[in-house]
Structure formats: C-alpha cells, structure tokens
A and B are shown apart, each in its own frame.
Chain A
Amino acid sequence: MPYELVVCIKQVPDPRFISRIRINPETKTIIREGVPAVINPLDKHALEEALRIREQHGGRVTVVSMGPLQAEDACKEALAMGADRAVLITDRRLAGSDTLATALALSKAIRRIGGFDLVLCGAETVDGSTGQVPPQLAEFLGVPHVTRVFSLALKGREAEAKAALEYGYRRVLLRLPAVVSVIREINEPRIPSVSGILRAHQIPVEKWTIEDIGLSEDEAGIKGSPTIVSDVYEIEVRRKREVFQGPPEEAARWLFERIVSVLGG
C-alpha cells in the first residue's frame, strides 16, 4: 500500500566546522560566520528511509522545515535527493522557538499538508541536539512515537521498529500513523543525482507563515517557549598543558614518571 510520508529536516551549521563557532561575549549571540549550513546529518537518513519506503511501497514524500529563508537550500537539496514536495515554515515571529514551540509549529504544518502515515525525523540535531522535537511532535499530532530507530519494516497499518538502547535494542510494534526518529545506522543516504538536481529546480519550495499554519503569535517564538537561554559561554579549560617533544624513549620515560606519580599520589 502507498504511504504518505513526511520528513522533518532542519538546516544546521556543518558539523565539520562546528569548532569555528564562537560567542560574541557582549551580545551573547552565536557567531556562525564562515560556517556553512547543511541539512542536519541524521535528517538525511530520515529522508533516505522515506525515499526507500516510497520506492518499495509507493506513496509520496513531503519534507517540512522550519527556519530562516536560507533553509530553502536545505529544502532544495531534499528535493534533489528525491522528495516530492517541500514546505518551509519561515516567519520572523518564530525566532527563538524552543523544542516545544518548534514541535507545535511543525505539527500544525503537518496537519495542513493533509493526512500522513509516518513522520520521520532525525534522532537529534547537531546544534541544539535535544532529540526532543520528535516525541513532542508526536504528542501534538496525537500519534505514537519511537526514537533512535535503526531498523524499520512497514506492514500495512503497522511498523516494526528496532530502537537502540545503551547495550542493545528495543523491539517496538507501532500502529500507524506514527512518528519515528532515526539514527545513522539505519541506512546510507544517497547523493543527489544530476537529474534529481534538475528536477528540484522545477519544484517550488512552499513558504508558510504562522498564519498559514494557524499558529497564534502567543504560541510562536519566544512567547510560545517555556524555556529561555539565560546565558551562554565558551568552555574554559584549566589544565596544565605540559607538552613534551623529543625522542620516543625520553617521551615514554617522561610519561611513565607522570603516570606513576598520578597513580601513586
């Protein structure tokens, strides 16, 4: 049977350059300059899984993203990978949303898209990395969820998922519609093909405001967020930082003495 699939993707700073991110000590704002933006890595795995389900069972894949206008690039990339439709919720009043406000906005957008069988998310983002959005989204949509899924098999109106635990996994039987969040072990995301990139140019990214999704100003952004970030700071490391450089015998001896004194003392 064909499935209506929705994938939530977020645009984030490229994790490979994440250590370049600094804080402006006066304004306490995050400086992302020079850090390119990409689709959150795990969200690509979520999209890949949706594309595979569509290939196997038929159906339609819609990506939804909430973010600034630049996040259109992420939507375009998702279309190039093979998504059928892309929606970007973009509105200044959403700035400062915490996970609860984000999940609420996403849930309203997903309702507007129409019916769905499965919503796929990444298990966490590299910037906020809370992993909270998928369960909260499921709650607002009134459907069950499973997080940290690394294996998913759909059979009619049910899905069997394996969800990672610290040492092993949990086998879960899901009744659809549902929300799942996935980890990297689930699949290997495809690289967009040339024809995919060309096709993506033909599909416009739909841009929705909070009015379009029926979210009130009180539910959006800082107003709709129960948590606030009251301070941010860079980690200070207070370490001895004694560094030895020399022939290996001497280096080993130098380390040996220090290790013995740590263990002995």
Chain B
Amino acid sequence: MELWVYAEQRRGKLVSASLELLGLARGIADKARWALSSVLLGHNVEVLCKELIAHGADRVYLVEHPLLELYQCEPYSRILAKLASEAKPEAILFPHTAVGSDLAPRVAAKLRTGLSAHVVNIELDERRLLRQIVPGFGGSIMAVVLCPERRPQMATIMPGVARKPKPDWSRRGEVIRVEEEVSEEELRARTLELVEEPPEEKPLEEADIVVAGGWGLRSREGFRIVEELAEALSAAVGGTRPALDEGWIKPHQMIGHSGKTIRPKLYIAIGISGEMHHTVGILDSGVIVAVNNDPSAPIFEVCDYGVVGDAFEVIPRLTSMLRELRGAQLKQEP
C-alpha cells in the first residue's frame, strides 16, 4: 500500500512545501506501514528524483514531456488521475500552494473521491484512516475530516505546518518512469508563462524571529518602528491584512488564514488586534509577544507576554535597549 505526495516543481526546482510534506508523510507512512511515493511531472526534471528520495520518498513516479514543463492543469490532472486509478494509493497529499490547490480538486473530481483543503495536521486513526485537521470559520474552529470509504483519501496541506526533513543523500529509492502523450489540443487552460519575483530576504516561514505590525501603526511612517525592531533582532518582518492593504508590507509578508503560517521561536505582534484570521497563522510559534493599547484586544488571549500600551512609546525604547545590548556584545567579542 502506498501514500503519495505530489512533488511540485517550478522552473526545475522543487517547491519547499513539497519537501516539507515528505517529512510529514514519512511519519504517517511509517506508522501505517505504507510505502511513500512521490509523483513528479515536468520536463528534464529527472535530477529531482534523488532529492525526493533523500527527503523520504521510497519511490518516484516520473512523467516527463516538453509540454509538461510548466504546470498545465489538464494534462497534469489527467495523468495524476490515471496513475492513481492504476496504482491505487491509499492517499495523496498535495501542498496547498497556488498550483496544488488548482490541481488537487480537479484530480479528486476525476476520481470521485474526497478532498480536504487547508489541512494543518494529519493523524492516523486505528482503522488507518487519515484524520485531517482543518480550520474553519477563519480558524477559530477546527474540524476533523475523514474520507471513510472512497479511495484515495486526498488532502492539500498548508505550507509551513511541517518542517523540511534533513536530506539523507545515502537513501535509496526506485524511480518509475511513465510515458504519457500530451498534445497541444489538450491545453485548454494553457499556462503561457510564470512571472515570479521571489523575495531576496529570507522567507518568513524560515525565520527564527518575526516582528509583525498591524493597523495600529497607522501609517507607512509608523510602520517603521516594526522594521527597526526587526532589524535590531535580525528578524523577518510580517503583517496583517490591513498592513498589506495599506502597502506597508508585500503579499508574501502577510500572516494568517489567507497568508503565511509561521512557527518562529519568537513572534512579536505590534498594533495587531489578534483576529482569528491572523492568529491562525501564528499558533505554533514558540513565544508570542504582543503590544497593543487596548487591554481588551483578543491578541492578549493568545500571547505569552503582552504589554498594554502605546506602541510608539514602548517599541522605540525596546529597540534601543536591544541595540545597546547588541553593541555591548559586539565589543566583548573582539
């Protein structure tokens, strides 16, 4: 019996959410005594098989074709559904990326099977059914979703909920090459190009410390106290939906339900009310710190250390203390 992970690649590189997912899936596969397979579609991507195996796959189904170089929903979904109906995996997991969430539902509909989205955790029950934990209503409520009868069980998993496993380059695995014909005619929704600008800074989900600001900062100028604190801590900068709407942050910096799920060691929320849509993205953080001038703000319900006060008075003082400390540490290490 097999558990499948969809290996998403862009421009010949595996997206990190797929590798994270292999870590999560490895745990499930071991418990259930299933083999873990990865399915990889693309053009000239054979080199990636090694990487998938190093991250935990026992087997890689590889489908290569020039027309599969970019994500093309129709042949991708057709081929995945065909492979799945032949090999009959117990379950297929996709990363809940822009592409994964476009592709997985189409495959599930072809297979007439169940699919859950935005999954934040998976457990295996005594019947070896996947208990898929899904946040609903903006994250305040969790639902356990099961697909008891039809197969495969399918889910798209939120990026950031599992850690990327350490690759073991000595692991061995099997590569199964599958030949498939693809025609131009089939590309009724044809991806012409990807226009991507990955940010230069370290991604939010990999940072140990994240400092985030919200509507309470009032202006672009005001938001600088967030950036200055982040700099003093060598932290990444994030924010809420209003901060994005105001243009203080970029889309990839938004944290929460429709943004990133992060799990830094330390998360500092400044001028953020703590609406569920936001806090669902920070629940797994190590320590949560909040500064807000409204003692009844819901952020105080979910934080470890909170300060009721004006961010413009508290944060600059905190920043200069941290800078001094850093200056002193630098002097001590000649």
Contact = CB atoms under 8 A, between A and B. Distances in A.
A229 B321 CA distance: 50
A155 interface: no
A264 to B, nearest CB: 10
B308 A18 contact: no
A132 B105 contact: yes
B309 A251 contact: yes
Interface residues of B, number: 90
Contacts of A243: 295, 300, 303, 305-308
A132 B155 CA distance: 11
A51 interface: no
Nearest to A145: B189
A227 B101 contact: no
Contacts, number: 259
A231 B189 CA distance: 38
Given A23-B141, A145-B189, A233-B141, A139 B305 contact: no
A253 to B, nearest CB: 7
B309 A259 contact: no
A171 interface: yes
A258 B314 CA distance: 14
Contacts of B325: 256, 260
A230 B134 CA distance: 11
Contacts of A232: 136, 141-144
B219 to A, nearest CB: 20
Contact of B308 (A134, A166, A240, A244): A244
B305 A258 contact: yes
A231 B144 contact: yes
Contact of A248 (B110, B114, B148, B314): B314
B303 A239 contact: yes
A229 B144 contact: yes
Given A100-B115, A229-B143, A245 B276 contact: no
A230 B188 contact: no
Interface string A4-32: 00000000010100110101000000100
B65 interface: no
B131 A146 contact: no
B144 A139 contact: no
A153 interface: no
22 contacts: A19-B298, A100-B115, A126-B137, A131-B105, A132-B101, A132-B104, A132-B105, A138-B106, A139-B77, A163-B98, A170-B194, A173-B190, A227-B147, A229-B143, A232-B142, A237-B301, A242-B304, A248-B317, A256-B325, A258-B289, A262-B287, A263-B233
Interface of B: 71, 73-74, 77, 97-99, 101-106, 108-110, 112-118, 131, 135-150, 188-199, 209, 233, 251-252, 257, 265-266, 268, 275-277, 283, 286-289, 291, 295, 298, 300-310, 313-315, 317-318, 321-322, 325
